[in-house]
Amino acid sequence: MKKYKKISIPKDGEKITVDNGKLNIPDNPILGFIEGDGIGQDIWPASKIVFDAAVKKAYKGKRKIAWMELFAGDKAVSVYGKNKWLPQETLDAIEEYVVAIKGPLTTPIGGGIRSLNVTLRQKLDLFACIRPVKYYTGVPSPMKRPQLLDVTIFRENTEDVYAGVEFKAGQKETEKLIKYINKMIPGKIRKNSGIGIKPMSEFCTSRLVSKAIQYAIDKKIDNVTLVHKGNIMKFTEGSFKEWGYKVAKKEYRDFIVTEDELWSDYNGKMPKDKILIKDRIADSIFQQLLLRPNEYSILATSNLNGDYLSDAAAAQVGGLGLAPGANIGYHTALFEATHGTAPKYAGMDKVNPGSVILSGVMMFDYIGWNKVSKIIESALKKTIKAKTVTYDLARQMKGAKKMKTSQFAKAIVKNM
Ligand code: NAP
């Protein structure tokens, strides 16, 4: 066991371990949490009340979570000192204790860190960003039938244009690079351009697509769509599609049918208990999710496409206030609110804790405590249906009763 300077390891908890690729969950697992900046101080305590109450309801004291506070963002600076936004021991503890949940974090200005979230994902190699998007009855939505959308997006988290390989226009090395490229492909790049590099590899694509297919198998979901822009960017996005099909056929042959095979071998009739692997061009999938949302269950996407797509899909079911997320590597998993720190509301006990609460639902599913996730989800549904909601939903709902963050959490607990 590692020694930590500022992290207190709960004495009443046990560590989650990984054996032969499987998680070992004790009855009193230690789960890390990062409260988060800004509204983190409001939404984390509210979420924790809901989590603890649901565990108690589900297991009557036989199981209990031992929460372990980890520090990142402003709170880390107050605990560890100047510029220590993301202490190494926070990363070490997430890795050692396998599962953690976090509130939103401010993006520090200066200090050499682009984004704490991106750094966390890269340092811990949390290569899949997973975002389930579905509709909860009563949530105001711009769609006529928002309930038709029920999709989980698996977004590659480590490469693509987000890899951070960029060259500023006008700088010496940028001009050198432009010259080098123009030597290979004459006249391709204009002088004084800024340059970004878009690396995409078979290794990273395959592990992401594998995770998406494995999820479909585990959850008995019958379709996975590879989303790409391969018609234009053939050697990055196009390869994403090819590598995706390749790993599907190689690793999951007995479980899957590709869309081509569906027509060539099965006359268009889906065989029972198989997963259909299809692909769609990125721009087309935005239309498809609006026009025929019920034809898509899991989307495996590259980094940039997934970023756009997950927010657009969340908008269809009422916005980011209720959008959960997780960043998962081979085993290490960090569950998180998908919205930011909304600093103007910090400490006002006002905002919606739904995004962290639903990230918790994903977390309980991940550790196999499905009874807990079901209790939370159904109580949340009941609370929204009763129109007892926070300001963001109340302002768009007729006849709603506006609740504070803490009141909303208590209402959820009451509805369990
Ligand atoms: P934001 O914090 O997401 O807030 C934008 C607006 O979204 C808020 O003003 C509010 O809208 C609404 N909102 C956000 N969370 C809400 C909640 N829980 N309940 C109800 N409404 C909510 O975005 P931002 O202002 O662009 O970013 C602020 C900081 O957060 C930045 O430092 C940014 O880098 C960081 N950030 C962190 C994460 C993360 O940690 N995962 C993600 C995104 C941004 P109304 O004012 O209309 O009510």
Q: What is the pLDDT of residue 177?
A: 96
Q: What is the pLDDT of residue 112?
A: 62
Please tell me the distance between residue 188's alpha carbon and the centre of ligand 1 in angstroms: 39
The residue to which tokens 């890795």 are assigned: 95
Query: pLDDT band at 108, cuts 50/70/90?
Result: confident
Please tell me the distance between residue 361's alpha carbon and the centre of ligand 1 in angstroms: 21
How far are the Cα atoms of 164, 170, 235, 415 from residue 190, in angstroms, in the given order? 21, 11, 22, 62
Please tell me the distance between residue 234's alpha carbon and the centre of ligand 1 in angstroms: 35
47-73 per-position pLDDT tens digit = 999 999 999 999 999 999 999 999 999
13-57 per-position pLDDT tens digit = 999 999 988 999 999 999 999 999 999 999 999 999 999 999 999
Given a cut of 70, whether residue 110 has pLDDT beyond it is: no
Would you state the structure tokens that stand for residue 163, as one six-digit string? 């890899």
Query: What mean pLDDT value characterizes the chain?
Result: 95
Question: How many CB atoms neighbour CB 253 within 10 A?
Answer: 9
Would you state the structure tokens that stand for residue 178, as one six-digit string? 């432009």
Ligand 1 pocket check for 392: Cβ under 6 Å: yes
225-275 per-position pLDDT tens digit = 999 999 999 999 999 999 999 999 999 999 999 999 999 999 999 999 999
Ligand 1 pocket check for 104: Cβ under 6 Å: yes
Q: What is the pLDDT of residue 107?
A: 82
Q: Sort 361 into a burial class: Cβ within 10 Å, 0-12 / 13-18 / 19+.
A: buried
Q: What is the pLDDT of residue 396?
A: 86
Nearest partner of 72 among 110, 105, 32, judged by Cα: 105
Nearest partner of 145 among 311, 317, 398, 381, judged by Cα: 317
Contact predicate 138/215, CB 8 Å: no
Straight-line distance from the first to the last Cα atom of the chain, in angstroms, rounded to the nearest whole number: 37
Torsion angles phi and psi, residue 151, rounded to 5: -135, 145
Residue 342 CA: nearest ligand 1 atom is: 2
Cα separation, 306 vs 130, in Å, equals 10
Proportion of the chain above pLDDT 70, given as a percent? 99
How far are the Cα atoms of 99, 349, 399 from residue 391, in angstroms, in the given order? 31, 11, 12
Q: What is the pLDDT of residue 212?
A: 98
Ligand 1 pocket check for 405: Cβ under 6 Å: no
Q: Give the angle 275-361-4 at the CA atoms, nearest 5°.
A: 115
Q: What is the pLDDT of residue 3?
A: 87
Residue 336 CA: nearest ligand 1 atom is: 41
Helix (H) or strand (E) segment spanning residue 276: strand 275-281
Report which residue type is found at 299.
Answer: L
- Which runs of consecutive H residues, i.e. helices, occur in 367-416? 370-385, 391-394, 405-414
Would you state the structure tokens that stand for residue 345, as one six-digit string? 């509301």
Mean pLDDT of the region 285-304: 97
Cα 35 → chain centroid: 17
Query: pLDDT band at 122, cuts 50/70/90?
Result: confident
Torsion angles phi and psi, residue 79, rounded to 5: -90, -40
How far are the Cα atoms of 76, 151, 346 from residue 342, in angstroms, in the given order? 19, 26, 7
Please tell me the distance between residue 36's alpha carbon and the centre of ligand 1 in angstroms: 12
Ligand 1 pocket check for 106: Cβ under 6 Å: yes
- Residues identified as active-site: 162, 229, 283, 307
Of 207 and 121, which is predicted with more confidence? 207
Proportion of the chain above pLDDT 90, given as a percent? 89
Nearest partner of 117 among 154, 85, 147, judged by Cα: 85
Please tell me the distance between residue 340's alpha carbon and the centre of ligand 1 in angstroms: 3
Residues ≥6 apart with Cβ < 8 Å to 222: 216, 270, 274, 275, 276, 297
Q: What is the pLDDT of residue 119?
A: 87
Contact predicate 70/335, CB 8 Å: no
R_g (Cα) of the chain, nearest Å: 22
Q: Are strands 275-281 and 223-228 parallel, antiparallel or unpaired?
A: parallel
In this structure, which residue's CA is closest to atom 44 in ligand 1?
A: 340
Ligand 1 pocket check for 336: Cβ under 6 Å: yes
Given a cut of 70, whether residue 113 has pLDDT beyond it is: no
Given a cut of 70, whether residue 201 has pLDDT beyond it is: yes
125-168 per-position pLDDT tens digit = 999 999 999 999 989 899 999 999 999 999 999 999 988 899 99
Ligand 1 pocket check for 378: Cβ under 6 Å: no
Cα separation, 221 vs 415, in Å, equals 29
Given a cut of 90, whether residue 118 has pLDDT beyond it is: no
Residues ≥6 apart with Cβ < 8 Å to 211: 127, 128, 154, 328
